[in-house]
Structure 1
Amino acid sequence: MHSSPRSLAGRTHAPPSAPALWTGAVCTVLASALTVLVAARWQPLMDLDRTVAEALHRRAVTEPGLVHVNRVLTDWVWDPWTMRALTAVAVVALWWRGARPLALWVAAASLLSALLQQGLKAAVGRERPRWPDPVDSAHYAAYPSGHAMSATVGCGLLLWLLYRSGAGRPLRWAAASAAAVSVLGVGLTRLYLGVHWPSDVLGGWLLGAAAVAFTAAGFDRYGPRERPARGT
């Protein structure tokens, strides 16, 4: 018996919205506070950012091999466009299976998070680290880290979809481990390559987590529900 479009979009495996709402609210509060501190150039935070960034850069300039590995990871494996492509594949698969409300919800969440990211970059206008001997380069404003936020949103949405599909625990644990490595790893590559301050990466993680949490909570509350089969 084939699953109906409604049942695909409204699996009973969906988590309750309250934990997701609380997670989104906490991440939003923390991200907002961090954004205010960054925009205000709060000196203790600026000093901490520079201390960490300088220490990592001093090490990076002495290890060209490790720099190359980090550039491959950040430019190809964990690039924002890679994450968006994976999300697009998931959206197409959902649409093809008939779960079109869920597909549109995920696509809208990915688009809105990208717009939020670019809007904050423009509003805060933070300069990236500048080095006399850079090992990599990047464009646009620094805060928040687009790589960190895109990885958090992409991996978070894919994990949420996997959970909704009713996947077994081993698969969910494997996917969660890969997602954790990707989200943490891409943030570390941006710091090691000297193209972001630590608070840029932290901001990207918090904003991405908030976006995923609100996406899950919103669909759980407003998305279509599975109708029970007749005779049950």
Structure 2
Amino acid sequence: MQPATVDSPPRPPAHRTPARATALLGLCSVLLLLLVAARWHPLITADDAVARATHRWAVGERGLTHTFRILTDWVWDPVTMRLVGAAAAVWLVWRRSAWWTAVWLVATCVLGTLLQQALKAAVGRPRPVWPDPVDSAHYASFPSGHAMTATVVCGLLLWLLHHHGAGRTLRRVAMICAALSVGGVGLTRVWLGVHWPSDVLGGWLLGATVVAAAATAYRRQEGVNASAAVGPPS
């Protein structure tokens, strides 16, 4: 007599997971955006307390502050991150002839940058001002462009590695590098006194929303391409 088997619940279509992540992350991003725009007192108070504490440390720890300036201006700078994304797009075309994927990658990075700049102009949040600054930055404060750009580029590359079945070792190394880059750049922006903590959080949330939305679009386009390749039933 064969043992009874328990049917596993049906798995949702592949595109639903990134779609649900997009909705959740988008909701969190909009909520934070509204709180920042309305200058919600508990959020502003928490931002101020953290910013003042980290600025005192930055003034007192000049060596560490100098290291953070190098990291934020050269290693995790938005220009550097975009160049990494562009290099990945070139590799996709050169090694795999993956034109569609390369265009998707570049277009998502461009759209993320446009969204970031539009929100900065719309919210117009002033940056922290200190009598003894250790660094300077331009344009409005929310969201952090460094945090959002790093999240978008690293998130897209991690998703591509996972989606195309890269080796486990490569994926683990990429995840460690991405976590250090995304987390590290957020820390440097607050430490150097050029962003409020909620600016960084907003950059992370918005960047993750862009990645999730792009992954949803990619999977749907894959489905369309697969259906076109099969053709109509005879």
Tell me whether the two structures share a fold, i.e. TM-score over 0.5: yes
Cα offset for 1:156?
0.5
Q: Which amino acid aligns with 2:199?
A: D
CA distance in 2: counterparts of 1:142 and 1:222, whole angstroms: 35
CA distance in 2: counterparts of 1:16 and 1:168, whole angstroms: 21
Moved more, 92-101 or 55-64: 92-101
State the partner residue of 2:67: 69
CA distance in 1: counterparts of 2:180 and 2:79, whole angstroms: 18
Task: Output aligned runs, 1:1-232, within 5 Å.
Answer: 16-96=14-94, 97-223=96-222, 224-225=225-226
State the partner residue of 1:8: none
1:17-51 CA-partner distances (Å, limit 9, x unpaired): 21111111111100100000101111111111000
1:166-191 CA-partner distances (Å, limit 9, x unpaired): 21112111111110111000000000
| Partner secondary structure for residue 26 of structure 2 | helix
Q: Which amino acid aligns with 2:50?
A: V
| Bigger Rg over Cα | 2
Root-mean-square deviation (CA, aligned residues, Å) is 1.4
1:49-106 CA-partner distances (Å, limit 9, x unpaired): 0000000001110111011000011001100011100000111122223111111111
State the partner residue of 2:4: none
If asked which structure has higher relative contact order (CA below 8 Å, sep 6+), I would say: 1
CA distance in 2: counterparts of 1:23 and 1:77, whole angstroms: 29
Unpaired runs of 5+ residues, structure 2, are 1-12
Q: Structure 1 residue runs of 4+, over 6 Å off?
A: none
CA distance in 2: counterparts of 1:27 and 1:179, whole angstroms: 19
Count of residue pairs the alignment pairs up: 214
Cα offset for 1:165?
2.8
Unpaired runs of 5+ residues, structure 1, are 1-14
CA distance in 2: counterparts of 1:35 and 1:164, whole angstroms: 31
CA distance in 1: counterparts of 2:226 and 2:74, whole angstroms: 38
CA distance in 2: counterparts of 1:17 and 1:129, whole angstroms: 41
